[in-house]
């Protein structure tokens, strides 16, 4: 192997060391081939060297990659064995785990893997392949092909090929179609599934050819072709996401179970429970018990979709709204996801939702679009969902998704007065940005024993007295009703609040009731829409506006009195207090 001479340390040396360190700690899919090529002797920073060398040592098999947590545990063991005090060893190991969840710089890591290797002329494997392909499996097969020779025995290499493919790929029958299912894991441990036509995969893996001996001849075969024809390939007669565990093993079940094990007792839950009751629910016992029931239902009956979306809002930041999401995500692991862009939930490509139970929606999401409102309501209640990855075939799977919204915006959800899909809570800012409060709380959420007790608590929580298809009334829900008003409803609310209707230069005082031309109502309404630049498709016509006014605030026919010398068709308007009472009743959350 040709070696490059190194006469001095590159100015990028420390950046390279840090980049690889960060990639390891954040569980990035660094390839087996790249890991084994790193020249650890070149690394100058002692902490980075310790992390990287431990990772390389632990990476013994191509398709079994160590995690950042594995590296941290091994470092602690090694340092303790070397005579270091337990506290000091834990502190150094914690430095590794503190990086979990960061976004590594992929381009810099690619440069670093080339700059810190024994042979800098050799290509790196790091995601030179398609985004939908699993780099660990691909790299392992690539190494196998490169190392194959005419002396390779087909029967000896075949089990390794099958094992590598089966670790991430399956042949799945979906309806009348045969598809290849690929399971991919991102650098944060998130799992997604993509479905492709067999021929598309054949072309993609077309370069994975190896040499083997047959008699006195040297022949070539393709890894993908060998796997497809082998009786021990992973094959399923359908794909399901069934958290009940009742699905036959003839089907590919994307449900992998809970991420933690239950632990006895509840003595470690005080901080978590106090936060849920007094911060998330502002001390309201009814809301606290319903929130626990909603969470417990997700754990006890994941296969039953309640059709309730929990929405948490606050004006202040740093209030701890995300605690509910973090708690459930610790329990669900790969079956929980957080999205911050509406396209990741409402867009065409949504394969990341296929194996999810909890979807947390953060910050600016709800745009006010009636079309999006319909999609949101469908996602919350529908029993199936169409899953499609970019460039892949769409499949339909059962939907057991629960949705949790977290935001600082005033308008959170498209709430109407008579629907019970949304459980909206105004989160207390009592402990906002209080480090002394959140530090032990966050430690509890990360602690295995504490989170195990929380799982055990939810598994045993009595659900018999709760109707989990009917969210309780809250003041925050009523606020969402008002935030969700259509333009004509907002306009009428303003008319009642101001106590008058203005049509050009003419003003009608509504305090004691009045006779008002029908045209004045419509002119006032359209002027309001024009002022707010309301889209044309959201503006109703004069006839619909009249029906709305009669049905909502009891306007009646006012005859055709003479106004400004003209006989004019009018409405008789009731007393302002009566209008206000009728409007409030119409939009009171039931």
pLDDT per residue as tens digits for the range 241-252? 889 878 888 888
Instruction: Take residue 550 and report the two structure tokens written for it.
Output: 């009669």
**Position of tokens 């109407």?**
416
Contact 171, 180 (CB under 8 A): yes
Greatest mean pLDDT among 42-46, 134-138, 384-388, 425-429:
425-429
User: Alpha-carbon distance 24 to 67, whole Å?
Assistant: 7
392 has pLDDT over 70 = no
Q: What is the mean pLDDT of residues 483-497?
A: 90
590 has pLDDT over 60 = no
Q: What is the pLDDT of residue 93?
A: 82
Name the pairing type of β-strands 235-236 and 169-174: parallel
* HEC readout, 34-47: HHHHECHHHCCCHH
Q: Is 234 exposed, middle or buried (0-12, 13-18, 19+ CB in 10 A)?
A: middle
255 has pLDDT over 70 = yes
Q: What is the pLDDT of residue 130?
A: 31
Kindly report the number of other CB atoms within 10 A of residue 359's CB atom.
22
Greater pLDDT, 34 or 9: 34
Contact 434, 440 (CB under 8 A): no
Q: What is the pLDDT of residue 128?
A: 34
Rg over CA atoms, the chain:
31
Q: Is 153 exposed, middle or buried (0-12, 13-18, 19+ CB in 10 A)?
A: exposed
Task: Enumerate residues 6+ apart whose C-beta is below 8 A from 130.
Answer: 204
User: Alpha-carbon distance 281 to 300, whole Å?
Assistant: 22
Minimal CA–CA distance to 299: which of 468, 426, 118, 63?
Answer: 468
Q: What is the pLDDT of residue 126?
A: 43
Greatest mean pLDDT among 22-26, 388-392, 448-452:
448-452
Contact 383, 398 (CB under 8 A): yes
User: Alpha-carbon distance 286 to 187, whole Å?
Assistant: 40
C-alpha dist (Å) from residue 408 to 319, 356, 444 = 10, 25, 25
Greater pLDDT, 501 or 410: 501
Minimal CA–CA distance to 206: which of 273, 129, 272?
Answer: 129
4 has pLDDT over 50 = no
Q: What is the pLDDT of residue 131?
A: 37
Percent of all residues in the chain with a pLDDT value above 70, rounded to a whole number: 86
Q: What is the dihedral of CA 235, 237, 238, 244, to 10 degrees?
A: -90
C-alpha dist (Å) from residue 188 to 97, 202, 444, 573 = 12, 29, 21, 62
Q: What is the pLDDT of residue 6?
A: 36
pLDDT per residue as tens digits for the range 443-479? 999 999 999 999 999 999 999 999 888 888 888 878 7
Q: What is the pLDDT of residue 127?
A: 35
Q: What is the pLDDT of residue 141?
A: 83
76 has pLDDT over 90 = no
Q: What is the mean pLDDT of residues 495-521?
A: 90
Percent of all residues in the chain with a pLDDT value above 90, rounded to a whole number: 36
Task: Enumerate residues 6+ apart whose C-beta is below 8 A from 584.
Answer: none
pLDDT per residue as tens digits for the range 270-307? 999 999 999 999 999 999 999 999 999 999 999 998 88
Q: Is 537 exposed, middle or buried (0-12, 13-18, 19+ CB in 10 A)?
A: exposed
Of 44-48, 455-459, 567-571, the range with the lowest mean pLDDT is 44-48
Q: Three-state DSSP class for 514? A: strand
pLDDT per residue as tens digits for the range 308-339? 889 898 888 889 998 999 999 999 988 998 88
Contact 408, 429 (CB under 8 A): no
CB-side neighbour CA atoms (13 Å) of 5 = 1
Contact 239, 226 (CB under 8 A): no
DSSP H helices in 116-257: 135-147, 154-166, 198-204, 223-229
Task: Enumerate residues 6+ apart whose C-beta is below 8 A from 561.
Answer: 515, 567, 568, 570
**Position of tokens 């106004």?**
563
Contact 6, 16 (CB under 8 A): no
For the chain, the average pLDDT equals: 83
Name the pairing type of β-strands 402-407 and 309-313: parallel
Instruction: Take residue 410 and report the two structure tokens written for it.
Output: 């005033």
Greater pLDDT, 385 or 209: 209
Q: What is the pLDDT of residue 7?
A: 35
Greater pLDDT, 394 or 385: 385
372 has pLDDT over 80 = no
């Amino acid at each position: 192997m040709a070696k490059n001479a190194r006469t001095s340390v590159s100015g990028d040396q420390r950046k390279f060391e840090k980049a690889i360190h960060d990639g390891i700690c954040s569980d990035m899919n660094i390839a087996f081939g790249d890991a084994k090529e790193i020249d650890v002797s070149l690394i100058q920073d002692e902490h980075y060297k310790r992390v990287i060398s431990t990772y390389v040592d632990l990476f013994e098999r191509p398709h079994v990659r160590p995690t950042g947590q594995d590296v941290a545990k091994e470092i602690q063991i090694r340092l303790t064995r070397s005579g270091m005090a337990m506290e000091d060893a834990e502190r150094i190991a914690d430095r590794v785990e503190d990086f979990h969840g960061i976004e590594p710089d992929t381009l810099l890591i690619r440069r670093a893997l080339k700059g810190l290797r024994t042979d800098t002329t050799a290509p790196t494997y790091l995601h030179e392949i398609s985004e939908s392909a699993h780099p660990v499996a691909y790299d392992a097969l690539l190494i196998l092909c490169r190392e194959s020779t005419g002396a390779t025995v087909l029967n000896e290499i075949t089990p390794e090929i099958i094992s590598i493919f089966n670790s991430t790929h399956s042949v799945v029958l979906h309806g009348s179609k045969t598809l290849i299912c690929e399971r991919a894991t991102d650098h944060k441990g998130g799992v997604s599934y993509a479905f492709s036509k067999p021929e598309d995969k054949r072309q993609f893996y077309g370069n994975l050819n190896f040499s083997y001996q047959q008699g006195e001849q040297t022949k070539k075969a393709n890894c993908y072709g060998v796997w497809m024809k082998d009786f021990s390939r992973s094959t399923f007669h359908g794909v399901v996401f069934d958290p009940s565990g009742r699905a036959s093993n003839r089907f590919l079940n994307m449900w992998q179970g809970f991420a933690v094990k239950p632990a006895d007792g509840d003595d470690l839950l005080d901080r978590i429970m106090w936060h849920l009751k007094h911060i998330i629910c502002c001390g309201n016992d009814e809301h606290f018990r319903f929130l626990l029931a909603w969470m417990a239902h997700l754990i006890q009956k994941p296969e039953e979709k309640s059709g309730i979306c929990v929405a948490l809002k606050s004006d202040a930041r740093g209030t701890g709204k995300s605690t509910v999401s973090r708690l459930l995500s610790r329990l669900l692991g790969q079956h929980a996801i957080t999205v911050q862009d509406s396209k990741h939930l409402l867009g065409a490509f949504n394969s990341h939702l296929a194996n999810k139970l909890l979807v947390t929606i953060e910050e600016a999401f709800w745009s006010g679009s009636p079309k999006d409102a319909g999609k949101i309501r469908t996602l919350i209640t529908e029993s199936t969902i169409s899953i499609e990855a970019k460039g892949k075939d769409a499949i339909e799977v059962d939907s057991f998704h629960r949705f949790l919204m977290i935001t600082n915006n005033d308008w959170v959800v498209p709430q109407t007065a008579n629907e019970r899909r949304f459980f909206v809570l105004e989160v207390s800012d009592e402990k906002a940005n209080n480090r002394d409060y959140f530090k032990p709380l966050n430690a509890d959420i990360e602690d295995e024993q504490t989170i195990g007790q929380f799982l055990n608590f939810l598994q045993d929580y009595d659900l018999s007295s709760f109707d989990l298809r009917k969210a309780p009334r809250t003041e925050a829900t009523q606020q969402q009703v008002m935030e969700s008003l259509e333009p004509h409803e907002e306009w009428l609310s303003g008319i009642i609040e101001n106590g008058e209707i203005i049509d050009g230069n003419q003003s009608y005082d509504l305090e004691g009731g009045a006779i008002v031309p029908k045209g004045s109502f419509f002119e006032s309404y359209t002027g309001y829409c024009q002022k707010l630049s309301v889209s044309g498709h959201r503006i109703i016509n004069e006839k619909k506006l009249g029906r709305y006014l009669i049905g909502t605030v009891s306007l009646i026919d006012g005859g055709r009195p003479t106004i400004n010398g003209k006989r004019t068709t009018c409405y008789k308007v009731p007393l302002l207090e009566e209008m206000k009472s009728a409007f409030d009743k119409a939009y009171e959350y039931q």
